[in-house]
Amino acid sequence: MNLKYEFTRLLVTNFKECFLFYRDVLGFEAGFGSENDTYADFVLGAVNISLFDKQEMSDTLGTTHLPALVNAQDKICLVFAVEDVDTACQQIKECGGQLTAEPTDHPDWGIRTAHLRDPDGNLIEINQPLRS
Q: Delineate the domains of the chain, giving CATH numbers in brackets.
A: 1-65 (3.10.180.10), 74-132 (3.30.720.110)
| pTM across the whole model | 0.89
Strand-pair partners of 53: 12
Q: How many CA atoms lie within 13 A of 40 on its CB side?
A: 23
Quickly state the pLDDT bin for 119 (edges 50, 70, 90): very high
pLDDT in tens, 28-80: 999 999 999 999 999 998 889 999 999 999 998 899 898 877 778 888 999 99
What pLDDT sits at residue 39? 96
* Cβ atoms 100, 121 nearer than 8 A: no
What pLDDT sits at residue 47? 87
Q: State how far the alpha carbon of 18 is from the alpha carbons of 44, 47, 89, 101, in Å.
A: 16, 19, 18, 20
Percent of the chain with pLDDT over 90: 78
What pLDDT sits at residue 131? 83
Of 62, 83, 91, 87, nearest to 131 by C-alpha is 83
